[in-house]
Chains A and B, each alone.
Chain A
């Protein structure tokens, strides 16, 4: 599928590992990671909610760190390991963070959820048992319009006891 123009653009072949699988594709130099994931790899679990790196719906992990995939160039990630929301399920079991969001109703429409979950997992890598304030501060870069954040905070705390 082609959503970016190839005409007159430099194409670069990149190789990266996405959700544990090696992929090699040609990309235009201006292709951002969110477009690469969604349109080239059909991994539509990563969402795009704004164009200014504000909403965080597009957060994925690159080499273990959370990044906003709408503002990372795919070409810059050549050689890295990317994990998206689709890559969290292992042997049919959801990640403890996903389980906690389900248990505590940490999502409603689900659009911000993939980015929220990816960002929250990264928080727990930095801080094992974060306080409410630490969770709210960390998630400041992820906007949710549905939940008022209360159950998201509760879910992150719950996940912290399971991870």
Chain B
């Protein structure tokens, strides 16, 4: 039987999604449905003096109007920060209370004040306008780099400082810098972004008063985590009385990893009014209240020798985490950022110091890449600048500092198991025709355009797991993954996974893995996920973890199935278990033509006895049935790496930057389905190029979100991109039996520096993201002036 791993298998989930038969949360409507509309703060920072619901309560169709006081009276807990970070001085991070509905103060535009529940959405929306909130408006703290110098938003959090974290050795770094020939410095802004999954967040909670069970449909990347948080921390219902279903989910990119106020409120409200409560965000609500991404202000320095050898690295960053500390808000700018900021290089000394600040803006949390795009941008812009200042080729300086022996103990945390960074970069230069760049540049010049080229070589730490490691670093949960492989009596298979697919194609990839392991045809395997009532607890999908952690759990569960199958087959064939081999779905007795298919063995496991034609007594001590569960907790993260080369062409008259050529060579270890992996890279690149050239989340000085719709926030469109050139190298991961490393975030990690290095190469001056036409045009004008002066 040909292996399915490595094949371009068309996706099993596509037909339903292509024919309008998908089921997203907004598509779910219950009998006796009610509709929720949230009253949100129009101010970035204010005290709530009074909430008057008297008119709204009497409005047409209104079932209930609930406020922060109601939720506090019912002792519903606040939203949580899931990762505890300690400051350099050993003190714990400081986080404010985050009630699902505010009763005392509001801290960003869009903060939740009350919810109106009505028979129809129109009625809920109309009545929401009748809720009168008396605010005392206070001066908002908005800007990342001014937060520590501004008024304290929360009285017990001085300087708005959540933590002041250090990773690395300042003294060693000082020594390295003292011995350097040259210090390269950059000041960078990693622009704030809005994840913008195309499906707006939604929740529909249905409480059944007779069973006291809540069924919550929600747009989640992680339904099990939603259940445990809403149960254990928000205290809405015990875990066994809360079923969370994340059906088809229309993209997440990090923004749907954890539950928000709306899920908590809908679940609680449904219990209160004993009717289902449905909420669907409109796009502006999504902009206002989804967690945002990035938002760093960084000063970084690289100490180098004149020959280009790196000696040391400093990273001083202020990270804006918004008004409250969201679930992964504190780990994103620390352990997901700091270690990777030294890049893919040998770096004898390094430190990352991060000050996380509260501001009166929407909470900031993980967004595709989470910390690693910020890290990679920092080091890669710095390295390219070092090459420029030392007069070296950007490839040469990188190769000089690549590690060549693996495992490679990276400076700050990670032991990188495998890689071949030289091979990746060489391949990228070939595919990108680096040698031909000068000619293309001249051709562009002949057309009145300026052409630039930019490199990025990256590694990242993903496959987010090792529970022992992440918990020692402050994570409040383990991060293993589960799988249950269940043979049905007639020989087909259902695989339950604790991870979740919202575009990644697990229904296909995971089925390919199970098909290869069990020798069962792909069409006889279903993957089940997204429902806490089906299958075991799991930790969901983010951090490029599903395949390396969840996929491995499937392999392990299949191993157990085969182990049991061997015993049963041996009994059926009346031979010793040690004589039975398993291959391509058959248990075969060595040196004979005796065999049983795995389907026959499964059937025997469910009919353990002798009855007419059926002769399938189980071995003594064996339980009936054929179903195995595995919980896989890897020993290490996985470390994808790669080399991306971007060429841009700039029109100096308009400032428009066009990505003319983009080459991405990635090492994701073993690839299960190239069709899906290429799609993941394309999507990541589009988001990364979006960050570099188009997207920017902008609050004005009063804390109003200026970019709160697709009319104002530049989402990348089809005509913004060229056709990307993709290629792969492969050094299998050693931390999981599949050898996979994860591919979901790489594109978004590598592309912002590749694009920006190309833009800066073209215009010869530093420029911040996004490199909009206006900024680039101004830079071109300056360049023209200084050129004419020089002439």
A→B interface (CB under 8 Å): 1-5, 7, 38-39, 43-52, 54-55, 57, 84-86, 88-89, 94, 98, 101-103, 105, 107-114, 117, 132-133, 135-137, 139-140, 142-153
Contacts and interface: CB of A to CB of B under 8 A. Distances in A.
Nearest to B284: A51
Contacts of B724: 148, 150
B415 interface: no
Contacts of A137: 718-719
A105 B678 contact: yes
B119 interface: yes
A102 B11 CA distance: 7
A136 B721 CA distance: 9
Contacts of A114: 20
Contacts of A111: 24, 197-199, 250-251
Given A50-B710, A145-B715, 13 more contacts: A4-B121, A5-B122, A43-B20, A50-B709, A52-B283, A54-B711, A57-B198, A85-B18, A86-B20, A102-B10, A113-B17, A145-B253, A147-B683
B504 interface: yes
A44 B27 contact: yes
B719 A136 contact: yes
Contact of A101 (B18, B678, B683, B709): B18
A45 B21 contact: yes
B642 to A, nearest CB: 16
A152 B721 CA distance: 12
Given A5-B123, A108-B505, A47 B199 contact: yes
Query: Which secondary structure dominates chain A's binding surface?
Result: loop
A128 to B, nearest CB: 19
Interface of B: 10-11, 13-15, 17-24, 26-27, 29, 33, 35, 60-61, 119-123, 126, 196-200, 248-251, 253, 282-284, 502-505, 675-676, 678-679, 681-687, 709-711, 715, 717-719, 721, 723-724, 747
A49 B200 contact: yes
A143 B717 contact: yes
22 contacts: A3-B122, A4-B120, A7-B60, A47-B199, A54-B711, A54-B715, A98-B19, A101-B18, A102-B11, A109-B502, A110-B22, A111-B251, A140-B717, A144-B718, A145-B196, A145-B198, A146-B679, A148-B681, A149-B721, A150-B723, A151-B678, A151-B682
Contact of A110 (B200, B248, B711): B248
Nearest to B17: A110
A149 B721 CA distance: 8
A85 B18 CA distance: 8
A107 B679 CA distance: 9
B154 to A, nearest CB: 33
A153 B682 CA distance: 12
A4 to B, nearest CB: 5
A87 B226 CA distance: 36
Given A108-B504, A143-B717, A45 B22 contact: yes
Query: Which secondary structure dominates chain B's binding surface?
Result: loop
Given A105-B11, A107-B17, A51 B22 contact: no
A108 B506 CA distance: 11
Nearest to A39: B29
Contacts of B717: 136, 139-140, 143, 149
B709 A98 contact: no
Contacts of A153: 718, 723
A92 B283 CA distance: 35
A111 B197 CA distance: 9
Contacts of A7: 60-61, 123
Contacts of A4: 120-122
Closest 6 pairs between A and B when the two form their complex, measured CB to CB: A45-B20, A111-B250, A110-B17, A148-B682, A109-B503, A148-B686
B20 A145 contact: no
B18 A102 contact: yes
Contacts of A105: 10-11, 675-676, 678-679
Contacts of A55: 198, 283, 710, 715
Given A3-B122, A108-B505, A143 B19 contact: no
Q: Which of B15, B35, B710, B724 has the largest number of chain A CB atoms within 10 A?
A: B710
B18 A110 contact: yes
B232 to A, nearest CB: 29
A126 B714 CA distance: 28
Given A2-B120, A148-B685, A84 B710 contact: no
Nearest to A9: B122
Contacts of B200: 48-49
A81 to B, nearest CB: 17
Given A5-B126, A94-B18, A51 B709 contact: yes
A57 B250 CA distance: 11
Contacts of A88: 19
B284 to A, nearest CB: 7
Contacts of B13: 110
B15 A102 contact: yes
B250 A110 contact: yes
Contacts of B718: 135-137, 139-140, 142, 144, 149, 152-153
Contacts of A102: 10-11, 14-15, 18
B402 to A, nearest CB: 28
Q: Which of A2, A101, A103 has the largest number of chain B CB atoms within 10 A?
A: A2
A136 B718 CA distance: 5
Given A1-B33, A49-B200, A111-B199, A98 B18 contact: yes
Contacts of B249: 109
Contacts of A2: 119-120
A48 B26 CA distance: 9
A108 B503 contact: yes
A110 B503 contact: yes
Q: Which of A47, A103, A110, A136 has the largest number of chain B CB atoms within 10 A?
A: A110
Contacts of A149: 682, 686, 717-718, 721
A52 B502 contact: no
B368 to A, nearest CB: 10
A46 B20 contact: yes
B118 to A, nearest CB: 9
B679 to A, nearest CB: 5
